[in-house]
Amino acid sequence: MSPNPKLNRNNRTNLLLLLAVLALAVLPLALGLGDHKEEPFVGADAEAETAITEIEPDYEPWFTPLYEPPSGEIESALFAVQAALGAGVLAYYFGVHRGRRQGEARALARADGPEGAPEGFAEGEGSARGRV
C-alpha cells in the first residue's frame, strides 16, 4: 500500500457516491420530513391507494393479489429479500463481465510477448503443448 494519502479518481468517486447514499438515507429523518403523517415512510403502493380512495371512494380494484402478507413487517421483509436477491444477481453479472474483460486483457498481454508472460515462461512456452 502506498503511503500517499491522496485518493485516486475511483476512490474519490466511490466516496462521493457513498456520501450521497448516506445523505439520502439520513436527511429525511434528520429534517423530520414525515412527522406530520401517521405512518411517515410508507411505500408508494400505500400512498397510491390513499390517493385513489380520496379521489374515487367507490373504486374497486381490477384484481386482488395472489398472496397478502399477514403484517406490514412481513411485507417489508419480503421486499428486502427481493431487493437483496436482485442486488445479488446484478453483482454476479457485473462480476462475471469484469472477470471476462480482465481475462481477455491478460490473454492479450501474454500474446504480446515475454514481457507480458508470467515469470518462468520463456518465449514460445505459453501454450500447453510446450510444457511437459
Report the first-to-last Cα separation within the chain, whole angstroms.
38
Residue with the three cell numbers 429479500: 81
Question: Please, which pLDDT band fits residue 18 given cuts at 50, 70 and 90?
Answer: very high
Per-position DSSP letters for 50-100, written without gaps between them: HHHHHH-TT---S---S---SSHHHHHHHHHHHHHHHHHHHHHHHHHHHHH
CA 23 – CA 68 distance, rounded (Å): 33
Which tens digit of pLDDT belongs to each residue from 79-126?
Answer: 899 999 999 999 999 999 999 999 999 999 888 866 545 555 555 555
pTM of the model as a whole: 0.47
